[in-house]
Amino acid sequence: MTPSAPADPRTYLAEFCRLARVDWPANRMLSVVCHGHSVPAGYFATPEVRPLESYPHLLHAALAARFSHAVLNVIVTAIGGEQAEQGAVRFARDVLNHRPDVLTIDYALNDRGLGLERARRAWSQMIEQALAAQFKVLLLTPTPDLGANLLDPADPLSRHADQIRELAGHYQVGLVDSYAAFQRLTRSGGQVPAVMSVPNHPNRTGHALVVQELLAWFP
């Protein structure tokens, strides 16, 4: 895959942000769809689900505050335990049918079971379908798993994060680098377990770190 740069966060969602500032009655509903596994679905300590403390809801609240005249809908199509191949199978039916203005994809935690090559094919399939429909795409690198070494480039989770960065550059879509945010927390002396509800699900504070990365795309 030829290295290139992801989309520019200052301009990639400029049309979304313009529409979000249009006043009634000339405005329309704007939709963000969050696709993926248990983290965007809101699982904390499985089977407990706290959707109002997960990043899709926190993003909705933050966008509503930033664009106070906008009608915004954040739709979650995530399923706990799912990996990217499964998400790709239902992508057209469950995601594209919503005709999202912005789409996020977050599968890397569970894709370790697929391996890099199969995960890349599934992510590429979803990205290409979304771009063919002219939807804007934000790819999320993974949130932590306490069994992984965030600072080891050879760790499988780090390698999936790298692959997602490559995909964002190849397709020139948005990159939401959650993994880098948690790496910065680790390097600054922060305690990653303090932002996790269980070893592989962030708590509200961890989800808030993801939201800060997302908001960079909505200037």
Return the CATH number at 193: 3.40.50.1110
How far is Cα 144 from Cα 150, in angstroms, rounded to an integer? 7
Query: Residue 60 corresponds to which tokens in the numbers above?
Result: 């909705």
In a domain, 72, yes or no: yes
1 in a domain, yes or no?
A: no
The domain total for the chain is: 1
Whether 8 maps to a domain, the answer reads no
Q: How far apart are CA 168 and CA 172, in angstroms?
A: 5
Residue 11 C-beta-side C-alpha neighbours within 13 Å:
4
Q: Which domain holds residue 98?
A: 14-215
Question: Does residue 180 sit within a domain?
Answer: yes
Does this model's pTM top 0.75? Answer: yes
Per residue of the chain (219 residues), give pLDDT as tens.
556 899 999 999 999 999 999 999 999 999 999 999 999 999 999 999 999 999 999 999 999 999 999 999 999 999 999 999 999 999 999 999 999 999 999 999 999 999 999 999 999 999 999 999 999 999 999 999 999 999 999 999 999 999 999 999 999 999 999 999 999 999 999 999 999 999 999 999 999 999 999 999 999
Look up residue 200 and give its two tokens: 């592989």
